[in-house]
Amino acid sequence: MIRTPEQYIESLRDGRIIYLNGEKIPDITKHPHMKGAINYRAKSYALANDPKWRDLITMEEENDRVMFLWKQPQTSKDLLRRRDLYIKCMKLGGIISGMGPDALAAAGVVAARMDKKLGTHYTDALEDYRTHLKRNDPAITGAITDVKGNRSIRPSAQEQHQDFYVRVVDRQKDGIIVRGAKMHISDTPGANEIIVSPCRAHREEDKDYAVVFATPLNAEGVKLFTSPRFYEETDEEALWNWPVSGFYGGISECMIVFDDVFVPWNRVFMCGEWQFSRDIAWTFGVFHRLFGTCHKVVFTEQAAGAAALIAEYNGIDKYPHIQEKLAWLAAHAEIINTMARAGCEHPDFFPDIGLAAPNLVYTNIAKFMFANDQFETSKIMCDIAGGLVSTVFSYKDWENPEEKPYIDKFLAGKSGIPTEDRLKVIRMIKDMSGHNHDNIAIHGEGSLAAQKMALYAGADWERYKAAAKRVCNIEGWKESKEFKDLSPWPPEPILK
């Protein structure tokens, strides 16, 4: 089924335990700071029911319509549609958090592998859960990052306590008991359920930490601590002051505490198979980086546009050094877009299990490029926009009839452009260049170090080394399938 927005909203009144900025919130649908996140999600249900977008977002199955994201990707086409769906929903203001579907896809890949290799039956549990998703259409998210404690110490060796990574503390007949906390989990207040996965490789001694499961967010023992929003304004004032973040309400990350939560076996998709923890973390990583790059396709387009507009409004769009900076922003946007799309066009296929994932190298490059250059993007936007990014006036200043005429007169830019338009673009740049976006760009979907590791691990070193070995006449280049058909280097000279 596909729920209506109203059904979705109603479902959030479920008794969950949730805190925000020092306050326990009895009903999140009534809290002004939660409204943005809920509306962002509700809109996705509206779109799924909208004849104009329904065929993109949902699919027909057994005489029912279900979310396309419940499908386990098998082809390049599946991945391209997934990407298109994410981008379109973002542009339409109806977020479908990638966290949940990406965790589902990763769990699907790894369950198939474990079952094939170890003879387990996790795919059955997962299919059971998939059926539940199709029948009940809950909003789901995914949790990966643990709170970690001392980063240089493995989970089971932590000194203060053993709960810095989520772990199984008891295996019972009907299910398991889990304990620990996950941090920075996006889109949690607006979700009904969550899929939880490990964020790192494990050794045997850490096998209790090798656990993947799904649970409702109002399950007993689950506690949500929402990260505070970076602004206080609401409604029209929020939108004027923060044109990008003002609708969805800034970040909606939670720390999720699992205080001995019971999970039945049909919601457990890994339990103790520590050799596969790295696999689940990496597979989630590549699916979720695909999601992240969708976000950045939208973001970089807006950044290039905002910078181009303010250059025009400030009257500096004809200067070569400004055009050079704008060209950088355009190139940045197109590289991310093209590399991420190429990741779906040329996916990594896993023929033994009949599944596919976004190309590891291309997708990590796309994600790395935006993460690594986000501060440069901010710097360029600020450099072009001017000091006003720091000192620009607010909605309340603008609405005050005593102040407005002065602001209107003196903060005008190029003739013919309303001062308010100039102020809004400045506010947009202020919003986009602050650490709300900068820090998240680096750490969202994994740190810079994580992408570098993935790139190094996934790069085609055999091909590169063969290219160099052939030129140097060093044995071994024939082993590369890209080079084996070529003649040795250099070719026999024709003219002696």
Chain positions 218 to 247 lying near a copy of itself, rule: CB under 8 A, are 223, 225, 227-228, 232, 239, 243-244, 246-247
Q: How many residues bind a copy of itself (CB under 8 A)?
A: 157
Structure tokens at 45: 């249900």
Binding mask 26-65 for a copy of itself (x = CB under 8 A): ---x-----x--xx--xx--x-------------------
323-342 residues near a copy of itself, rule: CB under 8 A: 323-324, 326-327, 330-331, 333-335, 338-339, 342
Element (H, E) at 176: strand 175-185
Show contacts with a copy of itself in window 447-466 (CB under 8 A).
Answer: 447-449, 452-453, 455-456, 459-461, 463-466
* Beta strand pairing call for 254-264 and 175-185: antiparallel
β-pairing, 193-196 vs 140-143, is: parallel
The residue (of 125 and 454) whose beta carbon lies closer to a copy of itself is: 454
In DSSP notation, 398-424 reads HH-TTTHHHHHHHT--STTS-HHHHHH
Smaller CB separation from a copy of itself, 184 or 202: 184
In whole angstroms, the minimum distance from the beta carbon of 471 to a copy of itself comes to 5
* Shortest Å, Cβ 388 to a copy of itself: 7
Minimum distance from residue 400 beta carbon to a copy of itself (Å): 4
- The span from the CA of 74 to the CA of 353, in Å, is 10
Integer Cα distance of 68 and 57 in angstroms: 6
Interface positions, 175-214, toward a copy of itself (CB under 8 A): 181, 183-184
Nearer to a copy of itself, 279 or 301 (CB): 301
Going by C-alpha positions, the residue among 93, 117, 382, 163 that lies closest to residue 275 is 117
| DSSP annotation of 209 | G
Residue placing its CB nearer to a copy of itself in the complex, 132 or 148 = 148
Q: How far apart are CA 478 and CA 18, in angstroms?
A: 60
**Beta-carbon count within 10 A of 389 CB:** 22
CB of 120 to a copy of itself, least distance (A): 31
Among 85, 125, 195, 255, which residue interacts with a copy of itself (rule: CB under 8 A)?
255
Looking at beta carbons only, is 270 or 385 nearer to a copy of itself? Answer: 385
The footprint of a copy of itself on residues 339-368 (CB under 8 A) is 339, 342, 361-362, 365, 368
Q: Which is nearer to a copy of itself, 352 or 403 (CB)?
A: 403
Determine which residue in the list 213, 291, 378, 450 makes contact with a copy of itself, applying CB under 8 A: 378
Element housing 255 (H / E): strand 254-264
Q: What separation, in Å, do the N-terminal and C-terminal C-alpha atoms of the chain show?
A: 76
The nearest distance, CB 118 to a copy of itself, in angstroms, is 30
| Token pair belonging to 355 | 């599944």
Residues 6+ apart with CB under 8 A from 296: 336, 340, 366, 367, 370, 441
Pick 333 or 353: Cβ nearer a copy of itself: 333
CA distances from 270 to 103, 134, 324 (A): 13, 22, 51
Q: According to CB under 8 A, which residues from 275 to 304 bind a copy of itself?
A: 298, 301-302, 304
Applying the rule CB under 8 A, the residues between 382 and 421 that interact with a copy of itself are 382-383, 386-397, 399-400, 402-403, 406-407, 409-415, 421
Return the bridge partners of 225, or none. 19, 255
The span from the CA of 327 to the CA of 244, in Å, is: 23
Nearer to a copy of itself, 197 or 314 (CB): 314
Q: Which of 74, 149, 272, 275 binds a copy of itself (CB under 8 A)?
A: 149
Question: How many residues does the structure list for the chain?
Answer: 496
Q: Which of 114, 268, 280, 309 binds a copy of itself (CB under 8 A)?
A: 309
Residues between 100 and 119 that touch a copy of itself (CB under 8 A)? none
Q: Does 376 bind a copy of itself (CB under 8 A)?
A: yes
Q: Is 210 helix (H, G, I), strand (E, B) or coil?
A: coil
Residues 79/290, Cβ–Cβ less than 8 Å: yes
Please, which residue, 219 or 486, has the CB nearer to a copy of itself?
486
390: left (phi over 0), alpha (psi -120 to 50) or beta: alpha
Residues 76-95 that bind a copy of itself (CB under 8 A): 91-94
Between 132 and 379, whose beta carbon lies closer to a copy of itself? 379
What is the distance of C-alpha 278 from the center of its chain?
A: 19
CB of residue 433 vs a copy of itself: minimum separation in angstroms?
Answer: 5
CB of 470 to a copy of itself, least distance (A): 9
CA 448, CA 440: separation in Å to the nearest integer?
Answer: 11
